[in-house]
Chain A
């Protein structure tokens, strides 16, 4: 795309805002947060009827910065290909909200924030937060923005779990939900990957039981390993083979533990980048939120019964090469919704990029999303 076409389809320069909440938030764990802040961004205009709002929920490493750019920064928001004028989630029609979740490390109250009780960063004392807690916090943000009913909630991966949870926790406040590359709960294998990532952080000597801030340290080795494991599961075997193959940087084996294969270089680069930017406590909390999510648990494992509370119209999307959140898992959601006689469509996109496909602009994927958003009345 040329720069002109690109700017014509971008929301342009954006800036985050901060919402403050004085009222305590009771958490699923039994603890509570006495006052907190959520950092968020909005794109497009809220209409007079306040009926065109769409909430975008982020996944493990995402944030409120969904689309557009900050002044003086060249990086687009993480879902810029989805959100903007003329894009599938069209900001000419919708008022789009991106919010950093509680416990995050991009500005909302989280482990890096100061615990008012101690005057020091929360660190490991930050309470466990769940998908349901995030949704409750997001609903309060909607209250503050004067939005009773969301036209839609959308998210991929862990964001898809939040979208699904919205329809169960606030069935009267969300008219549509797009659940993308997600699952009704993690499998044992998924939890296992998360546990490896957590152990990498927890056993890093620089972690200091989560209170590394006061030691002036960052558990970079742990974060790096966690991200490397994660990245392996976000890509498909084919995509990794296609992109890196067995390419050797020096054209031959050097019998060394330095970077030789290109995939090693890629993983180290991703790990280093992540370790510089992300918070270790946020990573731990977020993977636990993923592991705990299981709306059917309170219904004896019966997902059909769990989804009976929903009233929204659904779009469920999965990707054929996604083995971290495989299409079978999305189909469980689809059939449980259909058995509740809810409106649901399901698209299985043939995209080679594995779990990461949900962040890419696959034409079929975007065609389905554009058609679905186009039908939504505001």
Chain B
């Protein structure tokens, strides 16, 4: 998903130099390029959009064309140090399956998503309209997003699935949010593991 890129620096902070990284929904390979430059990672991306696959190849990024809803069955357990999904989880049908797969093939997962509970989104709903914002830039009738959830929803799901939250950073249009992120953050970035 294009547009929002300030989560890249947060993600990079959680990655150690030389790690093996898998980026799910890697787009044109922008994040992986960033991580290769900043952390010299060994990176692979998964993408299903034909044009973005060509863009990755053009950018010299390893890309595997695949529908993420199919799972990552071909990868061995724990092969990657980090499996990243940047602003794509809300577009996946099989939320729990994807999270489980990420934590199977990766030691840790990094996930970012738009917070449906953001105050501007709440305000839209209060005025009777579905939210359209920088973090949710689509109209209801053409959005690729299929899951609408808040920071609190996500953390409840993690608890329910035995997923450990090892780090969280929340942002309001790029500015860090410390207080009441479920209300004041438009995007959250999580570092997840298994206990």
Binding site for B on A (CB under 8 A): 315, 331-332, 334-335, 338-339, 341, 343-350, 364, 367-368, 371-372, 374-375
Contact = CB atoms under 8 A, between A and B. Distances in A.
A192 to B, nearest CB: 26
A345 B58 contact: no
Given A350-B50, A364-B50, A345 B64 contact: yes
* Pairs A-B, 8 closest by C-beta atoms: A335-B74, A371-B58, A371-B57, A346-B64, A348-B65, A367-B54, A345-B63, A364-B50
Contact of A344 (B50, B62, B76): B62
Given A335-B74, A339-B79, A345 B57 contact: yes
Interface of B: 20, 42, 44, 50, 53-54, 56-58, 60-66, 74-76, 79
Contacts of B63: 345-346
Nearest to B72: A335
B42 A341 contact: yes
Contacts, number: 55
A338 B75 CA distance: 9
Contact of B57 (A338, A341, A347): A347
A338 B45 CA distance: 11
A341 B22 CA distance: 12
Contacts of A339: 75-76, 79
Nearest to A337: B62
A338 B44 contact: yes
A331 B66 CA distance: 10
A88 to B, nearest CB: 11
Q: Tell me the interface secondary structure of chain A in the complex.
A: helix
A371 B76 contact: no
6 contacts: A335-B74, A335-B75, A338-B75, A341-B20, A348-B65, A371-B58
Nearest to B63: A345
A217 to B, nearest CB: 49
Nearest to B45: A345
Contact of B62 (A345, A348, A368, A371): A345
Contacts of B42: 341
B65 A346 contact: yes
A343 B75 CA distance: 15
B60 A375 contact: yes
B59 to A, nearest CB: 9
A317 to B, nearest CB: 9
Contacts of B64: 334, 338, 344-346
Contact of B58 (A335, A338, A349, A375): A375
Contact of A345 (B50, B56, B75, B79): B56
